[in-house]
Amino acid sequence: MVVTDSTVVFISGVGKGIGSGIAKLYLARPNHTVIGSVRDLSTPSVAELKASPTAPGSRLILVHIESTSSTDPARAVEAINAQGIEHIDIAIANAGAMPSTVPIEEVDTKDMLENYHINAIGPLLLFQAILPLLKKGKNPKWASVSTTAGSIGLVDALAAWILPAYGGAKAALNWLTAGIASSQKEWLTTIALHPGLVQTGPGNWVAQKVGLGDKAPVTVEDSAAFIVKLLDGLTKEDNGKFYNATDLTEVPW
């Protein structure tokens, strides 16, 4: 079956957290094909996602992508094509790594490279793999799930230097996002977004580190809803911008 009239959404990292929350929201909309990438298809959280309510004409397709793999994205596209998918309308590069707890005085090469591979190179490889499908989309959009910790302009204000490997890798993702926005501006709307400080493992750790309590202030459900609302309202004028999804304000690069 060839999918032509369905809105096709690709979300990386739907195995848990924000990615799973976003996938559930799109599945609840009629005529949406949601393609989600996961590292492990056998986890309880993936089983929960598979059992999520699905609106008429909508369906979930799961593909395997390990963020450190240079070949998984291309193989995932082969699997997508085999499902009759000929376009992608919205792509959300959400998969990422847990922030490292190693301070800037001690962070080593291994930690830096691991974070760069997962948080910057992984999304780039995904973009390259799905580019032909995005070019066939209806008013296609690309969103990189970044963080204010990756904003060079906010390093001092947020004391983001406590996350050198993670923040530096997300800053690299921001540069790549800006590069995509500039080079593909004739046909693609591209943004980076901060999802809020979310109640996930990484978010709760950061909240504890900066004295905000045991849990981050934003629930997964609220963050997912903020992101979907932001993407719903995007126009070509938003291309190349970095948004805080929680309040729709711009974040300095």
E-assigned strand segments in the chain: 7-12, 32-38, 59-64, 90-93, 141-145, 189-194, 241-244, 249-250
Let me know if 26 is a catalytic residue.
no
Residue type, 217: P
Report which of 217, 209, 246, 250 is spatially closest to residue 229, judged by C-alpha positions: 246
Angle at which helices 220-232 and 17-27 pack, to 10 degrees? Answer: 60
CB 195 within 8 A of CB 206: no
Let me know if 243 is a catalytic residue.
no
Per annotation, catalytic residue among 170, 209, 215, 236:
170
Pairing, β 59-64 against β 32-38: parallel
Per annotation, catalytic residue among 24, 26, 141, 166:
166
Report which of 3, 1, 68, 6 is spatially closest to residue 37, judged by C-alpha positions: 68
Q: What are the catalytic residues?
A: 166, 170
